[in-house]
């Protein structure tokens, strides 16, 4: 019974505490701003680890857009197709083994 009272007290006190709490604004005059000044006349882009597609030509084998990547993609798709064909073939074999053959007509 005491546990229920404590639970009810917490259930009532939590929303009341959240409703009475408020954020205090920052003191005036303590705001800082940052302005980027371009070095040349070209617009600045946000720095990113991910290169922009088509910005540079592929240089090293294995880079995106090279023949090596397309070959790996083809191998992966071919492997998935072989796995699918193997599953289909094995399921047909199992289905044929389960289905009883009708007795010969006399």
pLDDT of residue 80: 98
- Whether 62 contacts 68, CB under 8 Å: yes
> How far is it, in rounded angstroms, from Cα 10 to Cα 17?
10
Of the listed ranges 11-15, 28-32, 67-71, 75-79, the least confidently predicted one is 28-32
- pLDDT band at residue 104 under the 50/70/90 scheme: confident
This model's pTM is above 0.75: no
**Segments making up each domain of the chain, as ranges:** 65-99
Tell me the DSSP string of 26-92: PPTT---------SSSSPP----SSPPTTSS---STTSTTSHHHHHHHHHHHHHHHHHHHHHHHHHH
Of the listed ranges 15-24, 63-72, 80-89, the least confidently predicted one is 15-24
Q: What's the token pair of residue 98? A: 């389960």
């Amino acid at each position: 019974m005491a546990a229920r009272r404590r639970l009810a007290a917490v259930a009532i006190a939590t929303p009341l505490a959240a409703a009475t709490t408020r954020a205090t604004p920052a003191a005036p005059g303590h705001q800082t701003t940052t302005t980027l000044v371009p070095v040349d006349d070209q617009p600045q882009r946000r720095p990113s680890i991910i290169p922009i597609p088509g910005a540079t030509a592929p240089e090293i084998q294995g880079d995106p857009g090279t023949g090596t990547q397309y070959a790996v993609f083809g191998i992966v798709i071919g492997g998935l197709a072989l796995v699918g064909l193997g599953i289909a073939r094995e399921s047909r074999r199992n289905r044929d083994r389960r289905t009883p053959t009708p007795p010969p007509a006399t």
